[in-house]
Structure 1
Amino acid sequence: MTPLKAVFLAHTAAPSGAELATLRMVSAMPAGQTAVVYTEDGPMLRRMAERGIETRLVRNDFDSRAMTIRKAGVRSLLTGAAGLLKLGWALGDTMRELEATVVIASSSKALLMGAVAARRARVPLVWHVHDRVSADYFGRWLALVIRLLGRVAARGYIANSRGTLASLWTWRKPVLVAYPGVEFPAHDDRSGEPAEQRPPAETVIVVVGRLAPWKGQDHFLRALAGVRVLPRDVYLVGGAFFDEEAYRAELEVHATALDLPVTFTGHVEDPEPYLRHADILVHCSVLPEPFGQVVVEGMRAGCAVIATRPGGPEEIVEPGLNGLLVDAGDRAGLTHALDTLIADQELRTKLADAARVRARDFDVAQTARAVTDFLTRLSGSRWRRG
C-alpha cells in the first residue's frame, strides 16, 4: 500500500482560526506524511516552516478577496471562480511534485481549486469543513451551490463539529467529525493546580477572537455595561482582518461611551498569556459558531467560561458543570451570566477546575490520529476516470 502523503490546500495564509487549527493538527500528524500548500503569502508559511512542515506557495495571479462571500455580486463571484479553477490546474502540478495521495481542501475556495488539482493529480479530494455552510453565513443560494460542489467534488468530509457536519450534503460518503484540538505540553506544571479566582471587584475578563460583527464584541460591551459590579480589567484580544477595521473603531467608541475598563490588544500571536491571566472567558458570537476553539483554549487555561449557543460550544460546554451557556444575541441573558460569575468566586473556581479536566478531551493528538486514519483509508481508493 502506498504510504500516506496528505497535502492540505489553503487559500489564505492569515493566522485565523481554521489556519491555526490546521497548523496544530498537521504538527501532530506523522512526520513526512503531510504538506501544506498556500495560494497567498502570509505569516502561516513561516509558522509551518518553523515546525518543520513541508510547505509550498503557489501564488494567485488574481485577487481572490474580490469574491468575499458576504459582499460579492454574481459577476465578481463568477470571475473569482474562474480564477480559482485556473489556479487549480497549476496546483495539480504541485500535487504531483509532492506525490500527494490525497488532497484536503481547507475552505470553500480551496474546495473549488482542489477539485481541479486533485482530478489532475488523480487522487481523492477531501473537504475539511471549518464553517457551517448555511444561509446565515453564505446566503441561501451560495450555500446551496457550495453544498452541491462538495457533494460532487469531495470523496469524503472532515467536519470540525457535529453542527458543521449537519449543514452538509454527505449522503453515503465517508465522514469524520474531528474537533480542532489544542496542544498540551508533555509536562504541564499547572495540570493539577486549582484555578486562582479573584474577588468580584478585581475580576479580569477576556474575549478572544477576530474583531468582526458576527463575533459579537459589541453585544458583549453592551451586556457588560449592565452588570452590578464592573470587573477590574477587560481585554479584547484580536485583530481586525478582512477589511473590518471600521468595526474596531466602533467598538472603541462604545467602550469609551459606556466607561468600560477595556483594553484592545490588537492581533497577538499567542493569546494564552491573556487567558492564563483572566478569571472569565466570554465567547459571544451572535451567529452559531462552527466550533469555538477559543472556548477549549480558555478551559485549558483555567478560565470560567461563558459561551453562546447554538453552535459548537454546545458540544464543548456542559452547562453548570464546566461553564455557562447563553442564547446568542440575548443581551439580558449575557448580563445575568456575567453578574453570576463576577459575584460568585466559589462558582468560578468550581467551573474553572472542571473546565481544565474537560479540555483534555480535545487534545490535538487524538484529533491527529483520527484524521490520519481517515485519510489513510481514503488514500487507498485512488481517482479513476469514469
Structure 2
Amino acid sequence: MKETKKIHCFFNAPYLGGAERSFINQATDLKKISLEKNLDYEFNFIIPFFKYPGEDKSLEELILSKGFRRQQILYFAYHSTFYSLGRSQLEKGPLSLFFLFLKIPLLIYSYLWSVQSLNRLNKTDADIWWIGGNKIGPLVFFLSFFKAYKGRLIWHFRDYLSLKDLFSWCWKFFSFFSSCSLEFIGNSYDVSRSIKKALPAKAKSWTLYNPVGEISYSPSASQKDKNFILSTASMFAPWKGIHFLVQFACLFEKSLKEIGISEFHIYGDEIYKTTGDHFGYKDQLNAILKKYKCDFVKFKGLKSPSHIFSNSDLFIHSSLRPEPFGRVVVESYRSGTPLISTALGGAGELIEENISALTFLPYDYHGLLSCIETACSQERFSLIQKGRAKGDSIEQEYYTQLDAIFIFS
C-alpha cells in the first residue's frame, strides 16, 4: 500500500516568471520520484490573484501541462498594497522608511485582509506547506499560527534574505510561537548561507537547486558564413544588467557584426507588478535604443525557455549583483548554447570559469566583447561539451537534494 502525503504549494505571485516555472517543475519532479518509490504525493497549487482568478493563463496552463488537474489549482485574493511592497523600499534609507511608516495602517489592513482571503480556502489538511517565495511567506506563516498547523512548514527562498528584510522579522517573531516544524530552503548554497545568518538557529535549512525543465540539446554549428544570434533573457530589473547590455550593443554594434553577430535578442518583460527600482525600467531601455537609433537590438517579449535557446547561438547572463541561482545558466548548458556570465553569487556555484562558461566583470564592455569573440571561435565547441557535462552534474545534485528534503525526511 502506498504512503500518501498531501502538499500545498503556495505561490508568490499570479504571474509566470522564472521562480514560478521552477516551483512547478520541482513539484512535477517530486510527484514522479514519489511514484517511483511507491509513494503517493498529492499536490494543491494555491495561487494569489489581484483582479480575478487565473488572470495569467500561462501559469495555470503550465501546471495543467505537467499532468495535474484543474481541481488541484486554488486561488485566493491578494491585496495589491501588501504585494507591491518591495525590498528596495525597505533598504533605501531613513526617508523611504519614513514614508513607509505613514503607510503602516494600510499595510496592516491589506496584510490581514489577504490572510483572511487565504483562510477562506479552508485548506489546512496537508502534511507539508511549501511556501514558494519571499512575499507569500508572512501570510502563510500567520495562517499556520492561527490554525495551529502541526505539519512541516517549508519556506523556499528564491532570493537573498537581508537582515533588514521585513520578512525576516516576521519569521523570527512567529518562530517563537509556531507549533509546526520550521524549515527553510535556499535555491543555492549562497542563499542558504544568507538564511542561516538572518533566521533562527533552531530551524532546519536545506539547499535545492532550480530544475531545468524540458529543454532539448540542439547546439548550433560554427561556420564562417554563420550569422550568430546573441541573446539574453530575464525579468526586467536594473540589477539584471539589461541596460548595460543594451548600451553595450549600441556602442559596439560594428565590432559585434564583424565578429559574426547579426542581432541581439532580449527576452523578458516587466513581470512582477511591484514598486521599487525596476518601476518604469522598460521605458528606460527603450530610451537608450532611441538615443542611439539602434535597430541591432530586438525586444522579443516573453517566450518559453525552449523557444529562447533554440533561437540563440550565444547567451549572456549579466546580473550586476549576486544572483540567487541563475536558472538560465543551467538552461544554457542543457541546450548546448555557449554561456557568458558575470558569475556572481549562486550563479558562480554553477560555473567553472573559462571551462563550462566564459566570465566577465559587471560593466566591463571590452571584457564582454573579448568573451563574445572567443565564443564565436572554435572554442565554442569546447564550451558546449564542457557546459553539457557541468549541467549533468548539477542535475544529479538537484535530484539528490530533492530526495533528501521530501523523500527521506
> TM-score over 0.5 for the alignment?
yes
The number of equivalent residue pairs is 364
Q: Give yes or no for contact 2:137–2:167 (8 Å, CA) kept in 1.
A: no
Distance of 1:4 and 1:347 partners within structure 2: 49
Q: Give yes or no for contact 1:321–1:354 (8 Å, CA) kept in 2.
A: yes
* Cα-to-partner distance string for 1:73-107 (whole Å, 9 max, x where unaligned): 2343663355334433553464646x211211122
Q: TM-score, normalised by structure 2?
A: 0.78
Post-superposition shift, 1:274?
2.8
Matched, 1:55 2:55: no
Gap regions ≥5 residues in structure 2: 32-39, 91-99
* Cα-to-partner distance string for 1:17-49 (whole Å, 9 max, x where unaligned): 111100111112226422211121433233223
Post-superposition shift, 1:240?
1.9
Cα RMSD for the two superposed structures = 3.0
Q: How does 1:1-386 map to 2 (within 5 A)?
A: 3-30=4-31, 32-40=41-49, 41=53, 42-43=56-57, 44-53=59-68, 54-60=72-78, 63-71=81-89, 73-76=100-103, 79-92=106-119, 94=121, 96=123, 99-119=125-145, 120=147, 121-134=149-162, 140=164, 142=166, 145=169, 148=172, 155-169=182-196, 171-184=201-214, 190=217, 195-199=220-224, 202-224=227-249, 225-226=251-252, 228-230=255-257, 231-242=261-272, 246-258=280-292, 259=294, 261-268=296-303, 270-342=304-376, 345-363=377-395, 367=398, 370-371=401-402, 373-375=404-406
Q: Give yes or no for contact 1:280–1:305 (8 Å, CA) kept in 2.
A: yes
Tell me the percent identity.
17
Task: Say which SS state the counterpart of residue 278 (structure 1) adopts.
Answer: coil
Task: Say which SS state the counterpart of residue 233 (structure 1) adopts.
Answer: strand
Q: Which runs of 4+ in 1 moved over 6 A?
A: none
Post-superposition shift, 1:267?
1.6
Distance of 1:263 and 1:22 partners within structure 2: 29
Q: Give yes or no for contact 2:78–2:117 (8 Å, CA) kept in 1.
A: no
Q: Which amino acid aligns with 2:7?
A: A
Q: Which amino acid aligns with 1:306?
A: I
Task: Tell me the residue number matched to 1:384.
Answer: none
Task: Say which SS state the counterpart of residue 143 (structure 2) adopts.
Answer: helix
Gap regions ≥5 residues in structure 1: 379-386
Task: Say which SS state the counterpart of residue 313 (structure 1) adopts.
Answer: helix
Q: TM-score, normalised by structure 1?
A: 0.83
Q: Which amino acid aligns with 1:33?
A: E
Task: Say which SS state the counterpart of residue 5 (structure 1) adopts.
Answer: strand
* Higher RCO (CA 8 Å, separation ≥ 6 residues): 1
Distance of 1:353 and 1:291 partners within structure 2: 22
Distance of 1:78 and 1:168 partners within structure 2: 29
Q: Give yes or no for contact 1:236–1:263 (8 Å, CA) kept in 2.
A: yes
Q: Which amino acid aligns with 1:35?
A: N
